[in-house]
Structure 1
Amino acid sequence: MKLKFKFSILFALLFYSYLSAQPREELVKVIVTPNHNDWTYEIGEQAEFSMTALRNNIPIEGIEIKYTIQPDPGYRFITIWDEGSLNLKKGSTKVKAKKFNEAGFLRCTATVEVSGNEYSSYATVGFSPDKIEPTTTLPKDFEEFWKKGKEDLGKVAINPVLTLMPERCTDKVDVYHVQLDNVQGKIYGVLCKPKKEGKYPAILHVPGAGVRPYYGEVSEAEEGFISFTIGIHGIPVNLDQTVYDNLRQGALNQYFTTNLDDKDNAYYKRVYLGCVRAVDFIESLENFDGKNLGVTGGSQGGALSIITASLDSRISYLAAFYPALSDMTGFLHGRAGGWPQLFTDEYTNKPEKIETSKYYDVVNFARFVKVPGWYSWGYNDNVCPPASMYAAYNVINAEKELHVFQETQHWTFPEQREMKDSWLFEKLRK
Structure 2
Amino acid sequence: MISNHLLKFNGRYLLLSIFCFFFFKAQSQPKPQDLTAGLSLNHDNWVYNVGEKVTISGTVKYKGQILNNIKVKYEIGPEMLTPLVVDSLISSNGNFSIPAGTMKQPGFLRCIVKIEHEGKQYREVITAAFDPNKIAPTVNMPSDFMDFWQKAIKDNREIPLDPKMTLLKDRSTEELNVYEISFQNYKPGSRIYGILCVPKAPGRYPAIFNPPGAGIHKIQGDLTTAKNGFITLQIGIHGIPLNMEPEEYKKLANTTFKRYRVEGMENKDTYYFKRVYLGCVRAIDFIYTLPEFDGENIAATGGSQGGALTLVTTALDNRIKYLAAYAPALSDLTGYLFDRAGGWPHMFKSIGSNKDRAVKSLQYYDAVNFAKQIKVPGLYSFGYNDETTPPTTMFSTYNSITAPKELYIAKETGHWYNRAQTKKRTDWLQNKLRKN
Q: Measured at CA, do residues 16 and 305 of structure 1 come closer, stay the same or move farther in structure 2, by a change above 3 Å?
A: closer
What's the offset of the Cα at 1:158? 1.1
Deviates more, 1:271-280 or 1:179-188: 179-188
1:83: Cα distance to partner? Answer: 2.5
Note the C-alpha offset of 1:196.
1.1
**Alignment partner of 1:301 out of 281, 292, 306:** 306
Change over 3 Å in CA distance of 1:34–1:14 after alignment to 2: closer
Contact 2:167/2:178 (8 A) holds in 1: yes
Task: Report the equivalent of 1:40.
Answer: 47
Q: Which residue pairs with 1:408 in the alignment?
A: 413
Decide whether the 8 Å contact of 2:25 with 2:212 is kept in 1.
no
1 or 2 for the larger relative contact order (CA 8 Å, sep ≥6)? 2
Q: Which residue of the partner structure matches residue 231 of structure 1?
A: 236
1:337 counterpart SS class: coil
Q: Which residue among 43, 50, 56 is the counterpart of 2:57? A: 50
Q: CA offset at residue 16 of structure 1?
A: 11
2:206 maps to 1:201: yes
Aligned to 1:91: 94
Instruction: Compute the displacement of 1:209 (Å).
Output: 0.3
Contact 2:55 2:101 in 1 (8 A): no
1:379 Cα offset (Å): 0.2
How big is each residue's C-alpha offset from its partner over 1:281-320, in whole Å with a ceiling of 9 and x where there is no partner? Answer: 1111111111110000110000000110000000010001
Aligned to 1:7: none
Give TM-score, length-normalised by structure 1: 0.93
Distance 2:88 2:351 in 1: 35
Aligned amino acid, residue 422 of structure 1: D
2:293 equivalent in structure 1: 288
> Which residue identity lines up with residue 97 of structure 2 in the other structure?
K
What are the within-5 Å matches in structure 2 for residues 26-425 of structure 1?
A: 26-73=33-80, 78-184=81-187, 185-347=190-352, 350-425=355-430
Shift, 1:15, TM fit: 13
Give, in whole Å, the separation in 2 of the partners of 1:18 and 1:329. 24
- C-alpha change, 1:44 and 1:14, in structure 2 (3 Å) is closer
| Secondary structure of the structure 2 residue equivalent to 1:31 | coil
Q: How many residues align?
A: 414
SS of alignment partner, residue 105 of structure 2: coil
Verify the 8 A CA contact 2:342 2:349 in the aligned structure 1.
no
The letter for the 2-side match of 1:81 is: L
Give the superposition deviation at 1:118.
1.8
Give 1:90 deviation, angstroms.
1.9
Question: TM (normalized to structure 2)?
Answer: 0.92
Cα distance in structure 2, aligned partners of 1:118 and 1:419: 35
Partner-residue secondary structure (3-state), 1:167:
coil
Conservation of the 8 A alpha-carbon contact between 2:25 and 2:303: no
CA distance in 1 between counterparts of 2:22 and 2:427 reads 26
Q: 1:157-212: CA deviations, max 9, x gaps?
A: 21101011100000010011101011231111011001111110000011000001
Tell me the percent identity. Answer: 43
- Say which SS state the counterpart of residue 375 (structure 1) adopts: strand
Whether contact under 8 Å (1:363, 1:392) holds in the other structure is yes
Specify the code of the residue in structure 1 equivalent to 2:183: L
Separation (CA, whole Å) in 2 of partners of 1:252 and 1:113: 37
Give the conservation status (yes or no) of the 8 Å contact 1:342–1:348. Answer: no
Q: In the alignment, residue 67 of structure 2 is paired with which amino acid? A: I
Describe the superposition over 1:39-79 as per-residue Cα deviations: whole angstroms up to 9, x where unpaired.
11111111110022111212211122121111111xxxx23
CA distance in 2, matches of 1:38, 1:314: 37
Indicate whether 1:24 and 2:27 are aligned. Answer: no
Letter in 2 for 1:355: K
